[in-house]
Structure 1
Amino acid sequence: MRQTSCLDYCLFIRYLLCTVGSVYIKSKEAPAKDVLKDLVEMCHGIQHPLRGLFLRSYLSQISKDKLPDVGSEYEGDTDTINDAIEFVLQNFTEMNKLWVRMQYQGPIGERDKRGKERSELRDLVGKNLHVLSQLDGVDLDMYKEIVLPRILEQVVNCKDELAQHYLMDCIIQVFPDEYHLQTLETLLSAFPQLQPTVDIKTVLSPLMDRLSNYAASSTEVLPEFLQAEAFAKLSSVVGKVIEAQVDMPIFGAITLYVSLLTFTLRIHPERLDYVDQILGACVEKLSRKTKLEDSKATKQIVALLSAPLEKYKDISTALDLPNYPLVMDYLDIPTNKVMAMVIIQNMMKNTTRISTADKVEALFELIKGLIKDMDGSQDNELDEEDFTDEQNSVARLIQMLHSNDNEEMFKIISTVRKHILLGGPKRLTFTVPPLVFSSLKLLRRLQCQDRDSNGQEISDTQKKVFQLLHQTIEALSSVPSPELALRLYLQCAEAASDSGLEPVSYEFLTQAFILYEEDVSDSKAQVTVIHLIVGTLQRMNVFGSENRDTLTHKATGYSAKLLKKPDQCRAVYACSHLFWVNEPDGIQDGERVVLCLKRALKIANAAQQMVHTRGSSGHVTLFIEILNKYLYFFEKGNSRITDSAIQDLIELIGAELQSESTTSDSSADAFFSSTLRYIEYQKQKGGSISNEENKV
């Protein structure tokens, strides 16, 4: 009890002496440097770590406004800035020793508790460095020659993990960025000397971030050689730190590379060799590990790979970096897909277009995680929604691959085809259509070119494209996806017709018919496909009479065999357009048009008879639709369509609508009334429809 009281009394006396000394300095009765020296020496009498730490913190607090700084009232002939610096550095050194000593006093089992207590007291030590940074007299030269070497000496020599980490971070935070750039070699030399357990990445990374921000905003102030030296020094120290700390997790090493890459991209965006050098160092580090430790490491690799994309906004630049794909190879399959999506989204955002086959090859190697199954993973193991999003992104990407040179564009298409055919059947439904339409776009461009200059070459290129299209669509048979393949065959058939290639067009249509006969079994799908076939045939004028007869015969035959009578009727009267094309060289066979319409009437009548017993009027609409077809062809000049035929059909519809066995249908009534008004309108205009047609 008596000893404790004695210690408390001694401590009280020293607090009092610090207060008296502060007042004495203010009185200016003695040089400030002498009083400060006595006070800092007097504090040596308290060796208890916690008490001594607070005592010296109090001394620093009450003396900071009384230091002989440049321009202060306490500066004189004998009191200079050097004295102020010496006082603060001495106090800092002693406080740091006391702070470190706290860790080693007391039971071993309470070391973690003491570490937590020390962490809470660290700002007491750091305030000394803040005081130094606020002294006007501490210019760059003085900082370089005196302040920084003395601080680093204490940091390195204390050999305490917590102290070294905190003090290095404190140096970076309190002193200006310009000072760090000018003293970079000195500052960085301390990092490899720190304890192996110090988490250097959390100190060095913020330093590089601060320097890159400062240098990027002060390029006119900083000499170019200084910026170049900064990269060389930072790169060197990052390598040394990673080599020195053999137990540093891969996450920490990659974090350092990310910060170094960020610095480089801001200061030297034109130096792709610097960027690739950093990626190469990362590859070397990753090659020593059998696998990445955790998700943190993979996220940092994604950040590393994303940085060049965000800076250059062009995947082409990243493709010029030899080590870029090597880094990506170390990602696991899920993360590889994430990075591939980042690349595609970056291209979409910046409307990046790849215009050479070589770069397309390199790009598809980068995003291969989306293109094909890797390491035995199966499509059915993937989340369906995620898989759809991924493949839709690939499909959009294919549309962005473009070259104005026809030969190069064909090479691009061939390269894409090679990769997507490795993707498995589930992916083909997403990736084949955009490839087909890119090929068709090339064909249209070839058709628009002047054939007189190089006609044979263009024709050969077209044939090669059509051959590639046939082989590509044929691959969909493994899915199977007959309706999609059939639609694509029809698109290609029409393109071949536009190119004047009758045999090629006929072959594509033949394949479409085979798919319809063998693989399209759903009745609704059959209806849709028949109308697609008829619409495609109607627009094609490349065929001779024999081939055209064969194709139209098949189309009308398919139409008449549909499951439901209304579907049959509509498909058959749609076939009438195959025999009347309003173009200079188009077919105009009025007799066959009438045959199709009469056949449609027969089917409609059979359908109507079937529903009379149920009191329905649903199929009366078919007669009205056929009437409109009669009117269409009559106005187009088909002499086989007579006034009497139209009049008979009008009377038939009127009778059906008034039949007692037919339930009233407002939509059918409205449709018929609208048709009659149209006839009246044409009559008033002086059209070709005779007066007799209006008799109901």
Structure 2
Amino acid sequence: MIIGGIEDEEKWLAEGIAGIQHNAFYMHRAVDANNLRDALKYSAQMLSELRTSKLSPHKYYELYMKAFDELKKLELFFKDESRHGVSVYDLYELVQHAGNVLPRLYLLCTVGSVYIRSKEAPAKDVLKDLVEMCRAVQHPIRGLFLRSYLAQTSRDKLPDIGSEYEGDADTVMDAVEFVLQNFSEMNKLWVRMQQQGPGRVKEKREKERSELRDLVVNCKDELAQYYLMDCMIQVFPDEYHLQTLETLLGACPQLQPGVDIKTVLSQLMDRLSNYAASSPDVLPEFLQVEAFAKLSSAIGKVIEAQVDMPIVGAITLYVSLLTFALRVHPDRLDYVDHVLGLCVKKLCDKPKLEDSRATKQIVALLSAPLEKYNDILTALMLSNYPRIMDRLDNETNKVMAMVIIQSILKNNTYISTADQVEVLFELIKGLIKDLDGASTDELDEEDFMEEQNSVARLVHMLYNDDPEEMLKIISTVRKHIMIGGPKRLPFTVPPLVFSALRLVRQLLGQDGDVAGEEVPATPKNIFQLLNQTIEALSSVASPELALRLYLQCAEAANDCDLEPVAYDFFTQAFVLYEEEVVYSAKLLKKPDQCRAVYACSHLFWVDDQDGIKDGERVLLCLKRALRIANAAQQMANVARGSSGPVTLFVEILNKYLYFFEKGNPQITGAAIQSLVELIKTEVQSESTTPDSASDAFFASTLRYIQFQKQKGGAMGEKYEPIKV
């Protein structure tokens, strides 16, 4: 008998679906022909199939969904007044003349949706009219599905806050009133189902009620499930959600896998966290109901139930849970670490992030504690923070490392222990060394420089007043940056050197030897460490930088009265200068040789009380520079068939004038006069290539000589014999 009943129900369902499809075909043909009259006729006949009382709720739902799909297409036709030629107000009146009440109300709800969208009438008036008119259907199953259709068609047209349908006449309270009234009428139909019919069919009615209740969870309409959950969260007050949290969350894992449950739960957590932030006095209530534990458990069950959920969905849920913990329980670092631990477990299951959205969510997750506490030291206390960083791909790791460094620099946070530095540099290792599979050759040069400059600035934020601890910090940093590779060392070694020199000056006057297992913080031992550090630069094609750092260390060692140490640094500098930088006269290009040689003249004339004043050596440098300039001019003549610019001669002339004014007896007016005549000859030569910059430079120099002659005084008399 049961089997026969099931077979009959299947036959009735098939007949109903066939009837819907038959009338829908003619309805579509009428719509294509812009024939409103026939479209209404066949749509009403199609909807008449929903008047059946032979189907159980499950089977009726299948029939309802067939009609629902067709009504969505009909609604598009109703929207386009240019096709059917009837105003939406007249159409709203016209559909009320359908013969049977159930098709009439389905059509009325469909046109009502278009009527609200047109904004020709206040949304609250149309909604009130529809919710009242639907009372005409008192059959429990048919009435419940009709009101479900009303809720679905109006869900995006409620006068909510910020909605386009919110206005002077419509408020969010009108939306709440509509939803509650519709829900109340549905509840009445639910109760009527229990009381309907004689006692012998009570068991059947209870079964039907159970089917309808389960339909919310077991139906295949994912949009309907999402909408129902969303309505519950939006309609009921915060304190209600807090007290019924366990019941609401218990339904989440039972929803269809395709339901956007992450958005539903995120909205719920946002509401509760906003509630806690606006009413601090309710925080004990959050602890009493164990809100965090329940939310965490529910999220775990949802992720476990929805095995096909993308990783971005799971991480989005963790971000919302972490935000909830930070806003409601900011002092509970164990809650924060717990959420990070859940994320670590998920990343272990799916090690590869699927797209940029997942990457952004991971960055948001790791950034949240930094933004909340404004202190990287708090994040360093979270055991799962570095574990997530280890699970990131190279690019995401570098992005997050930059976020961490920027947080430190922005909040001016000093890292004051070697242990903290060790954890920090493990977090940002993507910026200080090549990770597996990564190469600096593939990096964008501008991005790479920005990253390394940030690391260099970070080094100056590592500081402790205690010399012993500071030396440990320096040693820890050195351990990490020395494996950075040839492109990184020129950025990271200099700040480390200057940080160590700052410690040396702090210890000025102290000295000592290595004692025991630990290296004491003494200038001598720090200089030894620096010598080894700078030496690495000379082997990565940065000899000029290494030379400057050697000289800085030599100066600091001299200030500490460590003459042997200073001598060693100077020796290293001179060796580097000879072997890597080369002597000035050995530069490859003649103009560079010339400029380097005349610059060396200043080494032999230092203009202070105890300075060196060797006029002969100055003159030798300038004469040698003239010979190199002349050779450069001849080479240019051979290469281009004409003489090159006379800029080098003018530059040397200015050096002659400088030392002439400083009182170098070897620099005479006659020598200057000869050089002026030489330059004039070169400028006026027909073979010389015209060069406006060189001509302007020479003219400016001659004006200066003339100005000095006119100025008078002792200097004017010195310039007087010079003819320009």
Equivalent residue for 1:478, pick from 523, 533, 539: 539
Structure 2 Cα separation of the partners of residues 205 and 230 of structure 1: 14
Alpha carbon RMSD of aligned pairs, Å? 4.9
1:121 aligns with 2:153: yes
**Quick one: structure 1 residues 692 and 299, their matched pair in 2 at CA, closer, same or farther if it must change by over 3 Å?**
closer
Matched, 1:625 2:625: no
1:318 matched to 2:348: no
Structure 1 residue 573 displacement after superposition = 3.7
Shift of 1:486: 1.4
Alignment of 1:75-474 (within 5 A): 97=145, 121=153, 123=155, 133-134=176-177, 155-156=216-217, 160-220=221-281, 223-226=284-287, 229-447=290-508, 451=509, 456=512, 461-474=522-535
Q: How far is the alpha carbon of 1:209 from its aligned partner?
A: 1.6
State which drifts further: 216-225 or 350-359. Answer: 216-225
CA contact (8 A) 1:421 1:428 kept: yes
Separation in 1, partners of 2:562, 2:42: 111
Q: Which moved more, 1:600-609 or 1:382-391?
A: 600-609
Residue 446 of structure 1: how far off its partner (Å): 2.7
- Aligned partner of 2:89 in structure 1 is none
Q: Which residue of 2 aligns with 1:594?
A: 615
Alignment partner of 1:568 out of 597, 600, 604: 597
Change (3 A) 1:95 1:409: farther
Deviation at 1:289, TM superposition (A): 2.4
Residue aligning to 1:672: 705
Residue 53 of structure 1 contacts residue 95 of structure 1 at CA under 8 Å; is this kept in 2?
no
Conserved in 1, the CA contact under 8 Å of 2:591 and 2:629?
Answer: no
**Cα distance in 2, alignment partners of residues 619 and 276 from structure 1:** 71
**Separation in 2 of the partners of 1:304 and 1:295?**
14
- Does the 8 Å CA contact 1:354/1:401 hold for their aligned counterparts? yes
Q: Is the 8 A contact 2:594 2:629 kept in 1?
A: no
Q: 1:283 touches 1:323 (CA, 8 Å); kept in 2?
A: yes
- Deviation of 1:565 after TM superposition, in Å, equals 4.3
Task: Tell me if the contact between 1:251 and 1:300 (Cα under 8 Å) persists in the aligned partners.
Answer: yes
Distance 1:185 1:159, change over 3 A: farther
Structure 1 counterpart of 2:597, one-letter code: Q
Q: Which residue of 2 aligns with 1:113?
A: none
Residues 515-664 of structure 1: matches in 2 within 5 Å?
515-520=576-581, 564-565=593-594, 567-577=596-606, 582=609, 593-600=614-621, 602-603=623-624, 606=627, 619=649, 622=652, 625-629=655-659, 631-632=661-662, 645=665, 649-654=668-673, 656-657=675-676, 661=681
**TM-score, normalization: structure 1?**
0.68
Q: Distance in 1 between matches of 2:571 and 2:611?
A: 24
* In structure 2, distance between residues paired with 1:7 and 1:607: 100
The answer to whether the 8 A contact 1:493-1:504 is kept is yes
Report deviation, 1:124.
9.2
For the residue of structure 2 that corresponds to 1:262, the secondary structure is: helix
Give the structure 2 partner of residue 546 of structure 1.
none
- Matched residue type, 1:595: E
Within 1, Cα distance between the matches of 2:352 and 2:45?
Answer: 62
Compared CA separation, residues 524 and 330, structure 1 to 2 (3 A): farther
Matched-pair contact (CA < 8 Å) for 2:109–2:130: no
Contact 1:305 1:324 in 2 (8 A): yes
Aligned partners of 1:627 and 1:650 also within 8 Å = no
For residue 319 of structure 1, report the CA deviation from its aligned partner.
0.8
Q: Name the aligned partner's letter for residue 336 of structure 1.
A: N
Letter in 2 for 1:264: A
Distance 1:567 1:242, change over 3 A: closer
Question: Relative to 1, partners in 2 of residues 1:566 and 1:299: Cα closer, same or farther, differing over 3 Å?
Answer: closer
Distance change (3 Å), C-alpha of 1:189 and 1:159 = farther
- Name the count of aligned residue pairs: 563
Distance, in Å, in 1 between the alignment partners of 2:506 and 2:177 is: 70
State the Cα distance separating 1:337 from its structure 2 match: 1.1
> Once the two structures are superposed, what CA deviation does each residue of 1:124-176 show, in whole Å capped at 9, x if it has no partner?
9999x9879438999xxxxxxxx9xx998773365642221111012212333
| d(CA) in 1 for partners of 2:575, 2:656 | 30
Q: For residues 314-354 of structure 1, give each alpha carbon's deviation from its aligned partner in whole angstroms, at most 9, with x where no partner exists.
A: 21111110001111222111111111112122222222221
Query: Helix, strand or coil: the match of 2:599?
Result: helix
Q: Deviations over 1:402-452 (max 9, x none)?
A: 2222222221111111111111111112211222222222223333xxx5x
Partners of 2:358 and 2:527 in 1: CA distance: 47
Q: Residue 189 and residue 675 in structure 1: after superposition, are their counterparts in 2 closer, same or farther (change >3 A)?
A: same
Check conservation: 2:44, 2:103, Cα contact below 8 A: no
Answer yes or no: is the 8 Å Cα contact 1:617–1:663 preserved in 2.
no
Partner-residue secondary structure (3-state), 1:395: helix
Unaligned 5+ segments in structure 2 are: 1-18, 24-40, 49-98, 116-123, 160-171, 182-189, 191-209, 514-518, 635-642, 685-697
Alpha-carbon displacement from aligned partner over 1:350-403 (angstroms, at most 9, x marks no partner) = 222212111111111111111111113222122222222222222222222222
TM-score (norm 2): 0.66
The percentage of aligned residue pairs carrying the same residue is 53
Q: 2 CA distance for matches of 1:88 and 1:260?
A: 45
Give the 3 Å change call, closer, same or farther, for CA 224–407 of structure 1 in structure 2.
Answer: farther
Contact 1:159 1:194 in 2 (8 A): no
Residue of structure 2 in register with 1:142 after alignment: none
Q: Residues 119 and 336 of structure 1: is their aligned pair in 2 closer, same or farther, counting only changes over 3 Å?
A: farther
Structure 1 segments unaligned to the other structure (5+ residues) = 13-42, 69-86, 103-117, 139-146, 529-560, 635-640, 684-690
CA deviation profile, 1:183-212 (whole Å, cap 9, x unmatched): 322222221222333221121112112221
Cα separation, partners in 2 of 1:520 and 1:658, compared to 1, 3 Å? closer
